[in-house]
Amino acid sequence: MSDLFAAAGLDRNAPHPLADRLRPQKLEEVAGQDHLVGPDGALTRAIRSGSIGSLIFWGPPGTGKTTVARLLAHETDLAFVQISAIFTGVADLKKTFEAARARRAMGQGTLLFVDEIHRFNRSQQDSFLPVMEDGSVTLIGATTENPSFELNAALLSRARVLIFKSLGAEAIEKLLRRAEQAEGKPLPLDEDARAALVAMADGDGRASLTLAEDVWCAAGEGEVFDRARLAEIVQRRAPIYDKAQEGHYNLISALHKCVRGSDPDAALYYFARMLVAGEDPLFLARRIVRMAVEDIGLADPQALVVANAAKDAYDFLGSPEGELALAQAVLYVATAPKSNAGYVAYKAARRLAEESGSPMPPKTILNAPTKLMKSEGYGEGYRYDHDEPDAFSGQDYWPESLGRRSFYRPVERGFEREIAKRLDYWERLRRERGDS
């Protein structure tokens, strides 16, 4: 297996970082990806079939994407070539493709592993298509970003996307035990600190081994660290979160759905998680306002008032004090009665407005500031509602060509229950007065 280390540019006997020294030498040694490399995993089946095809590995850092690519090259007897989209330009790609074609002419296939493939622009991604189609290259691209957003449709149509999962606590523990066996000594951590280290790894296997190495380097003879001491030594790793990429959208989607689903505790968790990761509190404030109008509406008219007040409070106080006002707004909207009746009604009204052209409102309800308009019947027959019984005239306000429509259907929750009673009452008056 030493050729794997040579392909990776590693010397097994050199003092490389622990994560490199413990890099798996067989697919079955890869932790946390049994759905791919287990006995019935997708890659295991592909290897048995004799053809893996081009692949896109999508998953968080430290989940084994690079390692699995190297091992696949060994399992399939393909020449392994690794490049990074960060450091590779057009000229480098041309040389790589020419070398792959020359290799193919001599009967040797090439497994081209492209790290951070999403960083190539669209035209650079297109350049892979000819060598994929003529069989010069079996492409494996690794990305931490959603391929649907970051990769060309043409490239995706020629490659199968395989998802690498964030490592769970059991998989991280497996890596730590392997490290202890390799080092010949246990990690100098008490039970609570060990659990904290697993959590700090945040599903990243490489990070877990780096943290373990830091602990061994810091420990004195016979010293055992508790959770507090561990935090001092390794510092806390920031959660994986890119405010412009998928993690951002995943968490705000989770927060919004927790509010819609009336789970204040889960909503508060995702809200706090985004703040801890460095999200702009005013972005969260805007989303809370949106939740108030989209998912609560008139079921609780105060929700919008509270959401806007929280935004103003944050503007006034700043962080960290103002964050409490936003948290309070999250709790309010999560526990408020829910209705999307206003949202649905607006969409329906807008759709009709877009599709129905420009029909004239009834002349009855139009002002007549000129003699000509009066002579044309503008305002004729208008009934002033405040002078009518129950302050309700029941006039027809709809363009004649459209007829009366109904968009807003309040739910039987919160304040909308009262609104529904009012609408029913006015509809009854219309029928009684024969103006419906």
| Segments of the chain assigned to CATH 1.10.8.60 | 169-234
Mean pLDDT computed over 33-60: 90
Contact 34, 107 (CB under 8 A): no
265 forms beta bridges with: none
Question: Which CATH number applies to 359-433: 1.10.3710, 1.10.10, 1.10.3470, 3.30.200?
Answer: 1.10.3710
Q: Is the pTM of this model over 0.75?
A: no
Neighbours of 299 (CB within 10 A): 23
Percent of the chain topping pLDDT 70: 93
Give the tens place of pLDDT for each residue, 360-391: 888 888 888 888 888 888 888 888 889 888 89
Q: What are the backbone dihedrals phi and psi of residue 166, each rounded to the nearest 5 degrees, phi first?
A: -60, 140
Question: 3-class secondary structure for 71-88?
Answer: HHHHHHCCEEEEEECCCC
- Bridge pairing between strands 55-58 and 79-84: unpaired
77: its two tokens: 């007897």
Instruction: Give the pLDDT band of residue 237 (cuts 50, 70, 90).
Output: low
110 forms beta bridges with: 79, 137
3-class SS at 225? Answer: strand
Contact 243, 274 (CB under 8 A): no
| Segments of the chain assigned to CATH 1.10.3710 | 359-433
> Which residues, 6+ apart, have CB-to-CB distance to 295 below 8 Å?
256, 259, 260, 333, 338, 339, 340, 343
Give the tens place of pLDDT for each residue, 113-123: 999 999 999 88
| Segments of the chain assigned to CATH 1.20.272.10 | 248-335
Query: Which CATH superfamily hosts domain 2-163?
Result: P-loop containing nucleotide triphosphate hydrolases (3.40.50.300)
Residue 320, preceding bond cis, omega within 30 degrees?
Answer: yes
Mean pLDDT computed over 254-271: 94
pLDDT (0 to 100) of residue 409: 92
Query: In the CATH scheme, what is the code of domain 169-234?
Result: 1.10.8.60
Residue 5 scores a pLDDT above 50 = no
Q: How confident is the prediction for the chain on average, in pLDDT?
A: 88
| Segments of the chain assigned to CATH 3.40.50.300 | 2-163
Give the tens place of pLDDT for each residue, 198-212: 888 888 999 999 999
What is the sign of the dihedral through the CA atoms of 260, 261, 264 and 266?
negative
**Which residue is associated with the tokens 């081209």?**
112
* The architecture CATH gives domain 248-335: Up-down Bundle (1.20)
